[in-house]
C-alpha cells in the first residue's frame, strides 16, 4: 500500500487526461460568462451584441429631444419572431440562438443609419426609427423589414422559414415617453398576433379601450368562482342509431352581475392567459361530477358528462390528482367522465400528453378529441394516444349538404375513426337533413341545436325524462363502455 503512494506521480498522466477536458470546459464557460457580463455592462445583449431594453430607452429619450428640436416624428416598432419556440423545441436552443443572431444581422443594414435595432427579450426586438415625416414612412420601413426575412435562414444545414409579427407606435401621436410608446406598440403587436402571424398593426385608441375592457373582465373573473357566478349548462350527445341521450357536455357560463350571461369564448382565453383556468377548470370538474351524482341519486337513467379541458389545464401538474379526487368525491365510476381536448392541446408536448392520457385512460376516464379536423394535420397521434372519440368540428356541418368538399371530409373522418376503432360525434347539427345524412354515413352520435342547445341542469333532466318516455332506457354498462385499449374498466356486456 505504502509502496503505491510512494510512486503516486506514476498516475499523473492519467489524472491529467481525466481533468483536462473539465478544465478546458470551465475556462470556456468563464470566458463566455465574462463576455456576457461585459456586454451587458455596455448595455449590449449577450447574444446579438445589440442594445438592450435599457439602452434602447436612452436612445428613445434622445430621439424625443431630437424630434422636438427638428419637428420630425419617430416610430417605436416592436418585432416578434414567429415560431421560435417550435424551432427551439425541434432543433435545440443553439439553433434558436443562431436564428436570432442571423436575423439581427440581416435586419441591421436594411434599417439605415437613422434607426436603432435593440433586443427586448427572448423573441422580441424593437426598432427606434428616427427622423420620420409621418406614419407612411414608418410603414415603408415595416415593409422593408418584412421583406428582409422572406428568404429562409440556413441554420444547422436546414432552410428555416420564419416571419415577424409587428406592432408600431408613433411619437408624438401615440405617446411622449419610451415607456408609453413601447406599451402601445406591444398592444398593437398583440392585435397583429390575434389577426395573423406575420402581420403588422399600428397602434389605435380602440386598442387601449379593448385592453381596459379586458383588464376589467379579468378583474371580475378573478372573483367569479368565489362569488358563485359560474354555472354549467349541459348539451346532450345523442346516439344516432337509437336516438337516446348518451352523455352531456358541460359548457361553462358566467352569470355576470352587469354583463348578463357571458359565453365561454369571451372569457376562457383570458382565463387561459392569466392561469385562472386552473382553479376554474377544477371547479368545472367537481361541479360536473357532482351533478352526475345528483342525477343518479334522483333516479335518472345514467349519463356520462363530458368536460372540456384547455391546454394549460391539461398540462398542469395537478390534473390527474384533481380528476381522481373529483371522481372519488362524487363516488362515480371513472367511465362517467369524459374529457374533451383539442388536437393542439395534445400536440403541444406530445410525450407528456401521452403519459397523462395513459394514466387517465387506465383509470377508465374517456378521452375525446374536440373540434377534430381544424387543428394538426398529423394523424399519427391517433394511434399513439388512448382515445375514445373524435368530435367533428361544427364548421363542417354548416355546408354539409351543399358543399361536396365538406361532405368528403366528414365521410373520411368517420371512416378513419371507425378503422381505428374510435367513435365519432358530429358537433353543431342543426337540421333533420344534416342528421339523416350523418346517419347514412354511419356517424355514431350527434350534438347540436337540432336536439337541444346547452341548458341548465334541471332543464337537461327534464329533456332526458321526455326522451326516456319515448325510448327504452340505457343501462349503466351501455353508457360506461369505452373504446380505449388501456381502460381498466371493462363492463360485462358485449362490445
Q: How far apart are CA 494 and CA 491, in angstroms?
A: 9
Among 284, 365, 417, 425, binds ligand C2E (CB under 6 A): 284
Locate cell 358530429: which residue? 426
Q: How many residues bind Mg ion (CB under 5 A)?
A: 5
Indicate which of Mg ion, ligand C2E, none lies near residue 428 (CB less than 5 to 8 Å, by partner kind).
ligand C2E
Q: In degrees rounded to 5, what are phi and psi of residue 228?
A: 70, 30
The least distance separating ligand C2E from the CB of residue 121, rounded to whole angstroms, comes to: 29
268 contributes a contact to ligand C2E by CB under 6 A = yes
Closest contact distance (angstroms) between CB of 307 and ligand C2E is 6
Whose Cβ is closer to ligand C2E: residue 152's or residue 275's? 275
Round to whole Å and give the CA distance between 273 and 223. 16
Q: Residue 175 binds which one of ligand C2E, Mg ion, none, with CB within 5 to 8 A depending on kind?
A: none
- Of 50 and 435, the one with the shorter C-beta distance to ligand C2E is 435
Q: Which of 207, 252, 414, 480 binds ligand C2E (CB under 6 A)?
A: 252
Residue 159 has phi, psi (to 5 degrees) of -85, 115
Which of 412, 377, 364, 378 has its CA nearest to residue 392? 412
Contact pattern for Mg ion over residues 315 through 344, marking x by CB under 5 A: -------------------------x----
Q: Which is nearer to ligand C2E, 80 or 235 (CB)?
A: 235
CB 221 within 8 A of CB 254: yes
Part in contact with ligand C2E (CB under 6 A); list of ranges 90-98, 262-270, 297-305, 472-480: 262-270
Contact 327, 289 (CB under 8 A): yes
CA distance 146 to 141: 9
Region 435-474 residues binding ligand C2E, contact defined as CB under 6 A: 447-449, 453-454
DSSP secondary structure of 13-72:
HHHHHHHHHHHHHHHHHHHHHHHHHHHHHTTB-TTT--B-HHHHHHHHHHHHHHHHHHT-
Pick 130 or 316: Cβ nearer ligand C2E = 316
Q: Mark out the alpha helices in 159-254 (DSSP H runs).
A: 178-195, 205-224
> Which residues in the 396-435 window bind ligand C2E by CB under 6 A?
427-430
Shortest distance, position 341 Cβ to Mg ion, whole Å: 9
Please identify, using beta-carbon distances, which residue of 214 and 394 lies nearer to ligand C2E. 394
Give CA separation, 157 vs 98, 100, 101, 154, 183, in Å. 12, 16, 16, 6, 37
Binders of Mg ion in range 357-416 (CB under 5 A): 370-371
Smallest gap from residue 70 Cβ to ligand C2E (A)? 52
Q: Is 341 in the site for ligand C2E (CB under 6 A)?
A: no
- Helices 319-329, 277-297: axis angle to 10 degrees equals 20
Task: Report CA 437 to chain centroid distance, whole Å.
Answer: 33
**Binding to ligand C2E by residue 338, rule CB under 6 A?**
no
Under the phi-then-psi rule, with left for phi > 0, alpha for psi from -120 to 50, and beta for the rest, what region is 243? left
End-to-end CA distance of the chain: 74
Question: Three cell numbers at 154?
Answer: 440556413
Quick check: 236 binds ligand C2E (CB under 6 A)? no
Residue 294, SS3?
helix
63 vs 224, beta carbon nearer ligand C2E: 224
Within 419-448, the residues that bind Mg ion by CB under 5 A are 427
Nearest Cα to Cα of residue 263 among 453, 468, 94, 73: 453
Tell me 133's DSSP state.
Answer: S
Nearest distance, CB of residue 355 and Mg ion, angstroms: 23
Residue 284 interacts, among Mg ion, ligand C2E, none and using kind-specific CB cut-offs from 5 to 8 Å, with ligand C2E
Decide if 204 contacts 195 (C-beta within 8 A): no
Cβ distance to ligand C2E smaller for residue 309 or 457: 309
Whole-number minimum distance, CB 268 to ligand C2E, in Å?
A: 5
Binding to ligand C2E (CB under 6 A): which residues in 299-318?
308-310
Interacting residues with Mg ion (CB under 5 A): 308, 340, 370-371, 427
Interacting residues with ligand C2E (CB under 6 A): 235, 251-252, 263-265, 268, 281, 284, 308-310, 340, 370-371, 394, 427-430, 447-449, 453-454
Amino acid at each position: 500500500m505504502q509502496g503505491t503512494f510512494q510512486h503516486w506521480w506514476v498516475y499523473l498522466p492519467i489524472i491529467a487526461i481525466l481533468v483536462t477536458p473539465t478544465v478546458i470546459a470551465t475556462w470556456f464557460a468563464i470566458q463566455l460568462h465574462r463576455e456576457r457580463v461585459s456586454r451587458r455592462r455596455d448595455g449590449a445583449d449577450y447574444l446579438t451584441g445589440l442594445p438592450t431594453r435599457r439602452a434602447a430607452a436612452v436612445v428613445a429619450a434622445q430621439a424625443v429631444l431630437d424630434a422636438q428640436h427638428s419637428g420630425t416624428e419617430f416610430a417605436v416598432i416592436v418585432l416578434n419572431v414567429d415560431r421560435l419556440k417550435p424551432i427551439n423545441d425541434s432543433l435545440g436552443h443553439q439553433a434558436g440562438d443562431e436564428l436570432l443572431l442571423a436575423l439581427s444581422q440581416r435586419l441591421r443594414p436594411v434599417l439605415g443609419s437613422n434607426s436603432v435595432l435593440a433586443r427586448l427579450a427572448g423573441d422580441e426586438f424593437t426598432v427606434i426609427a428616427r427622423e420620420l415625416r409621418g406614419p407612411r414612412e414608418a410603414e415603408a420601413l415595416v415593409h422593408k423589414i418584412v421583406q428582409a426575412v422572406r428568404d429562409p435562414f440556413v441554420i444547422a444545414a436546414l432552410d428555416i422559414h420564419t416571419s415577424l409579427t409587428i406592432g408600431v407606435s408613433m411619437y408624438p401621436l401615440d405617446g411622449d415617453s419610451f415607456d408609453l410608446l413601447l406599451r402601445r406598440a406591444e398592444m398593437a403587436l398583440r392585435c397583429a398576433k390575434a389577426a395573423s402571424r406575420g402581420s403588422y398593426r399600428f397602434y389605435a385608441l380602440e386598442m387601449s379601450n379593448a385592453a381596459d375592457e379586458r383588464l376589467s373582465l379579468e378583474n371580475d373573473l378573478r372573483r367569479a368562482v368565489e362569488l358563485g357566478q359560474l354555472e354549467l349548462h349541459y348539451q346532450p350527445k345523442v346516439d344516432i342509431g337509437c336516438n337516446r341521450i348518451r352523455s352531456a357536455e358541460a359548457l361553462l357560463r358566467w352569470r355576470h352581475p352587469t354583463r348578463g350571461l357571458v359565453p365561454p369564448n369571451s372569457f376562457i382565453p383570458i382565463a387561459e392567459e392569466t392561469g385562472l383556468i386552473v382553479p376554474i377548470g377544477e371547479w368545472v370538474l367537481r361541479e360536473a361530477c357532482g351533478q352526475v351524482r345528483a342525477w343518479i341519486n334522483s333516479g335518472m337513467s345514467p349519463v356520462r358528462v363530458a368536460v372540456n379541458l384547455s391546454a394549460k389545464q391539461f398540462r398542469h401538474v395537478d390534473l390527474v390528482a384533481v380528476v381522481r379526487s373529483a371522481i372519488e368525491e362524487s363516488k362515480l365510476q371513472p367511465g362517467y367522465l369524459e374529457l374533451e381536448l383539442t388536437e393542439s392541446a395534445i400536440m403541444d408536448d406530445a410525450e407528456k400528453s401521452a403519459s397523462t392520457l395513459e394514466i387517465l385512460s387506465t383509470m377508465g376516464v374517456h378521452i375525446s378529441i374536440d373540434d377534430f379536423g381544424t387543428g394538426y394535420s398529423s394523424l399519427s397521434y391517433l394511434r399513439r394516444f388512448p382515445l375514445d372519440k373524435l368530435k367533428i368540428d361544427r364548421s363542417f356541418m354548416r355546408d354539409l349538404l351543399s358543399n361536396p368538399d365538406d361532405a368528403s371530409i366528414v365521410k373520411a373522418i368517420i371512416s378513419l375513426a371507425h378503422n381505428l376503432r374510435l367513435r365519432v360525434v358530429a358537433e353543431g347539427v342543426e337540421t333533420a337533413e344534416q342528421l339523416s345524412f350523418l346517419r347514412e354515413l354511419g356517424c355514431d352520435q350527434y350534438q347540436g341545436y337540432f336536439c337541444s342547445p346547452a341548458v341548465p341542469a334541471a332543464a337537461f333532466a327534464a329533456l332526458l325524462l321526455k326522451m326516456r318516455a319515448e325510448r327504452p332506457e340505457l343501462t349503466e354498462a351501455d353508457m360506461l363502455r369505452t373504446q380505449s385499449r388501456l381502460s381498466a374498466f371493462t363492463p360485462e356486456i358485449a362490445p
